[in-house]
């Protein structure tokens, strides 16, 4: 339960705006709390259109979290490699990795639960069994899943030590005046929109170190194909680092251009960002292994069109 005292500068603000600014909720989350009667002003349940007065005391009582177990679902998987310890899969664009608010089924975890008959590591509980690292819903490509707790611990330690090879391919709008570039900027939550991340000095206090190495793979008319090597693995790292230097991935619905003609004409459902290579020390054998994933057809189709210009 959170209690917030209104100040003179808050007078006249709509309650959802007040909650967004003072409590860190997104506007949509604040509106949902109001709709569900979770917000009281001076101990009275507040109306959605209430406007703040000086010295108002706003109380937010968060609803009990929904308890969800990941249930097995017979969903096709593109398995690159599998043994008793790990599974390496090629995740399609549009698939969520694990159940969360708004996506309780149809996820990679649901498919893995069915495929393995529930034989996944338990380190991340019942919602994220086996999940060591993630890929955004609208990003395609390769990731490794742990079947055993020992494998999970080994992979997690390697990720923490920045020894895992993680390479991506993306298509951005415009050109570059560089062939190779390293972006070393901390990444943190955007205080104006909690679903977004930002990079740079403004998040130095609460941000986490983030390093991405970019290299030009191919230049096209009005577009550039980049290789992206992750040194760290922060939320939305590649997309946020590119935005911080004024570059945008084609089809990115969050950090991309508002007018993305090529994405619209191609009917893209997400950004042209693909996890192409993953390498690590196998938890059981102690040997370095590396796996690759080919670019999806829709990605290749756009590259072919650009090549023909």
As annotated, the active-site residues are: 136
Say how far apart CA 37 and CA 52 lie, in whole Å. 17
Three-state secondary structure call for residue 266: helix
Q: Where are the alpha helices (DSSP H) in 80-215?
A: 108-116, 149-160
Separate counts of helices (H) and strands (E) for the chain:
7, 15
Half-sphere exposure of 53 (CA within 13 A, CB side): 5
Do residues 130 and 108 lie in contact, with contact meaning Cβ atoms separated by under 8 Å?
A: no
**8 Å CB contact between 190 and 240:** no
Q: What share of residues in the chain are helix, strand, coil (percent, to 5)?
A: 25, 30, 50
Q: Strand (E) positions, 100-236?
A: 140-146, 165-173, 180-184, 187-189, 197-199, 211-220, 223-230
Rg of the chain in Å (alpha carbons): 22
d(CA 3, CA 123): 34
Contacts of 105 (CB under 8 A, 6+ apart): 71, 73, 99
Closest Cα partner for 188 from 177, 174, 199?
199
Residue 24 backbone phi and psi in degrees, to 5 = 80, 10
CA angle (298 as vertex; 292, 273 as ends), nearest 5: 55
């Amino acid at each position: 339960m959170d209690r917030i005292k209104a100040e003179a500068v808050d007078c006249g603000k709509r309650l959802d705006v007040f909650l967004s600014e003072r409590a860190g909720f997104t506007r949509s989350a604040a509106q949902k709390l109001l709709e569900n009667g979770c917000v009281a002003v001076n101990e009275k349940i507040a109306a959605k259109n209430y406007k703040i007065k000086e010295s108002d005391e706003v109380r937010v009582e968060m609803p009990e979290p929904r308890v969800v177990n990941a249930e097995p679902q017979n969903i096709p998987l593109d398995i690159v490699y599998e043994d008793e310890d790990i599974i390496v899969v090629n995740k399609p664009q549009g698939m969520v990795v694990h159940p969360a608010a708004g996506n309780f089924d149809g996820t990679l975890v649901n498919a893995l639960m069915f495929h393995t008959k529930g034989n996944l590591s338990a380190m991340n509980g019942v919602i994220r069994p086996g999940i060591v690292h993630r890929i955004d819903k609208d990003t395609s490509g390769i990731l490794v899943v742990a079947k055993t707790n020992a494998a999970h611990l080994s992979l997690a330690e390697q990720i923490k030590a920045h020894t895992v090879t993680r390479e991506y391919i993306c298509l951005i709008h415009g050109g570059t005046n560089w062939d190779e570039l390293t972006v070393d900027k901390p990444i943190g939550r955007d205080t104006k929109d909690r679903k977004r991340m930002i990079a740079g000095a403004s998040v130095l206090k609460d941000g986490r170190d983030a390093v991405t190495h970019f290299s030009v793979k191919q230049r096209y008319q009005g577009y550039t194909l980049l290789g992206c090597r992750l040194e760290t693995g922060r939320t939305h790292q590649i997309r946020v680092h590119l935005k911080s230097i004024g570059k945008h991935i084609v089809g990115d619905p969050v950090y991309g251009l508002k007018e993305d003609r090529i994405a619209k004409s191609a009917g893209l459902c997400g950004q042209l960002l693909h996890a192409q290579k993953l390498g690590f020390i196998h938890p059981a054998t102690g040997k370095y292994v590396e796996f690759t994933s080919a670019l999806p057809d829709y990605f290749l189709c756009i590259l072919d069109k650009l090549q023909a210009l």
